[in-house]
Amino acid sequence: MAKRKVVDKQVSILKFCRTGSGHEETLKKEVTVIDLVSDNEQESLFVCDSEEELPYQEERSTQFACPVCEVDIAHLSLDDRTVHVEACLVNPNTKKVLYRRIKTTGVVEQTKKKCDRRPRPPIPDEKILSFENHTIAVDAFCYAPHPAISVYLLTHFHSDHYGGLTKNWDHGSVIIVTPITRNLLVYKFGVNPDLLLSVDYNQTIEVPHTDLKITCLDANHCPGSGIFVIESPGLRYLHCGDCRINKPMLESLMQIGRFHKIYLDTTYLNPLYNFPKQEIVIDELCKLLQSKMETMQFSQQRVIDFFVDRKPQKFLIVIGTYLIGKERLAIKLAEALQTKIYCNEEKKNVLSQFGWPNLDNLLDTHNPESCQIHLAALPKLNKDYLAEQLKTYSRHFKAAIGIRPTGWSVRYGKPVPSLDAMVAAESPEMVYAAISKHFDRFREDNKARVLQIPYSEHSSYRELFYFANLLEYDELVATVSPHNQDEQLAMLREFKNYDRLCIENF
């Protein structure tokens, strides 16, 4: 397998204040370790195989305070910042949540940076959308106030986009959000609802006191994520936030017409990440697990099976998630296996903000032993964690399978040799065979296994190929790793010059 190239992820969003000359002090703090999914405060979130961690480059020290506990977390990587903030969200009463290697004594040494005296940096140019009479800032809540900007836009509720936004944030007069993002901001951060202007999918609104119109489409990323068409007389921009391109999205954008500028999520603009369509991965995973439930046999009879009233099920399935995200996968699997989904009360309260009746009806917070699907924190989903879960529920399940749905840890197949090879999508049969091959490594003497699947909520290399080719635009801006614009734009221009694509083949 090719060696993984270390890359920046969403660097433009995380370039905060430069390191100041302020002094630092080393303090000993009592550690409270919070589980993203359960309320158990004894388990470490730092249970993560090194090869599964998100790729990143060490960033320069900057000012970035957690929006919940207000501790400076600028020294953490993007992945650890996300873990920290989401842990605080699960238990907002925790005063300090530290993410270091945990010592057995429960005490760690941490350098606490005094960041409140350093001024915030100005909003980067790539986060400012300028029109003739008005200016909008997108996902730019951790920067200094801009005298000409009163309208802000939050594309979705992930910490690398809402970073800096708290209930006391007052840099603008309005924040444009989707209804789900609005609910989450109010529920988790206590943001003033009067500050939030909601725009639903396939809806167009006028921004008060401006000549701007904003249309929102489903970004197919996480619940409440949107791509936004912003228009003023004579100009039309598209900001994609984070998105997973699909056929309905492309068809809607093609009907809108030409864009003067498009800001595109280029997270997977790399031929190594040519993974299959999201819906195909979900369908084939469901088929595989249904098949294994019916056909897989365990040759060795367990002693405990003679003492239980109800015959144990073959598999406990644990799906790795973040605070929000991966819900579509959990819903489809639960429906296919005709089971409910177990999570704790706080997780259920978060998911209830979506307003999805089909999800609400599947959730169970009281009977984990009767739910074949459990939700767990993605960073801690490994064999040891699964073994612990299997031990806990050994009377009810014979084996445990962890589902790690992420594009970062799975390189599906080989890099595509040419653009011609990406015109046709991979067949469901090929996807089934690939996932099945990974599953077949499951051994009876090791009844806890993590199954990696190429399920991503960012666009694949092939999907970016279609997007850049089929849409009409004057300028394309890559929102990931903006320092690497020239290289990314050269690749996107190569996509644009390909003349044998059509939406029917997507």
In angstroms, the CA 164 to CA 499 distance is 43
| Whole-number pLDDT of residue 272 | 80
Alpha helical stretches, state H, 381-453: 383-392, 428-439
Which H helix or E strand runs over 478?
strand 476-478
| Whole-number pLDDT of residue 138 | 97
What secondary structure letter does DSSP report for 119? P
| Whole-number pLDDT of residue 25 | 36
Among the ranges given (15-19, 107-111, 195-199, 440-444), the one the predictor scored with the smallest mean pLDDT:
15-19
pLDDT band at 80 (very low <50, low <70, confident <90, very high): low
DSSP assignment string, 161-180: HHTT--TT--S-SEEEE-HH
- Strands of the 261-264 sheet, one edge to the other: 203-206, 213-218, 226-232, 235-239, 261-264, 476-478
Domains of the chain plus CATH, in order, are: 125-271+461-505 (3.60.15.10), 278-453 (3.40.50.12650)
What is the C-alpha end-to-end distance of the chain, expressed in Å? 28
In angstroms, the CA 230 to CA 214 distance is 5
> What is the pTM for the complete model shown?
0.76
The structure tokens listed for 373 are: 């699907």
Among the ranges given (80-89, 135-144, 166-175, 211-220), the one the predictor scored with the smallest mean pLDDT:
80-89
Residues near 269 by Cβ (< 8 Å), separated by ≥ 6?
Answer: 461, 464, 478, 480, 488, 491, 492
Round the CA-based radius of gyration of the chain to a whole number and report it: 23
The structure tokens listed for 328 are: 């579509």
Alpha helical stretches, state H, 340-412: 345-351, 357-360, 383-392
Beta strand pairing status for 213-218 and 226-232? antiparallel
Which H helix or E strand runs over 14?
helix 11-14
| Whole-number pLDDT of residue 473 | 96
Provide the 10 A C-beta neighbour count for residue 334.
23
- Strands of the 397-405 sheet, one edge to the other: 363-364, 341-342, 373-377, 313-321, 397-405, 448-453
Provide the 10 A C-beta neighbour count for residue 215.
20
pLDDT higher than 70, residue 120: yes
pLDDT higher than 50, residue 7: no
What secondary structure letter does DSSP report for 213? E
| Whole-number pLDDT of residue 312 | 80
Contact yes or no for 36/86 (Cβ under 8 A):
yes
Could you read off the pLDDT of 271-322 as tens digits, one per residue?
888 889 999 999 999 999 999 888 776 655 555 555 556 678 888 999 999 8
| Whole-number pLDDT of residue 452 | 85
pLDDT band at 105 (very low <50, low <70, confident <90, very high): very low
Which H helix or E strand runs over 253?
helix 247-256
Alpha-carbon 74 to chain mean position: 20
Question: In the chain, what is the greatest distance between 2 CA atoms, to the nearest angstrom?
Answer: 76
In angstroms, the CA 229 to CA 259 distance is 9
| Whole-number pLDDT of residue 419 | 87
| Whole-number pLDDT of residue 443 | 66
pLDDT higher than 60, residue 460: yes
What secondary structure letter does DSSP report for 283? H
In angstroms, the CA 143 to CA 17 distance is 8
pLDDT higher than 60, residue 44: no
Nearest to 245 by CA among 471, 485, 457: 457
The helix/strand/coil state of 337 is: helix
pLDDT higher than 80, residue 323: yes
pLDDT band at 398 (very low <50, low <70, confident <90, very high): confident
pLDDT band at 259 (very low <50, low <70, confident <90, very high): very high
Residues in the chain: 506
pLDDT higher than 80, residue 90: no
Beta strand pairing status for 128-130 and 135-138? antiparallel
In angstroms, the CA 439 to CA 25 distance is 49
- Between 90 and 417, residue with greater pLDDT: 417
pLDDT higher than 80, residue 104: no
Could you read off the pLDDT of 52-67 as tens digits, one per residue?
333 333 333 346 666 5
| Whole-number pLDDT of residue 300 | 59
Percent of the chain with pLDDT over 70: 73
The structure tokens listed for 473 are: 């635009």
Spell 54-78 as b/e; 16+ CB within 10 A means b. bebeebebbbbbbbbbebbbbbbbb
**Mean confidence (pLDDT) of the chain:** 79
Which H helix or E strand runs over 107?
strand 107-113
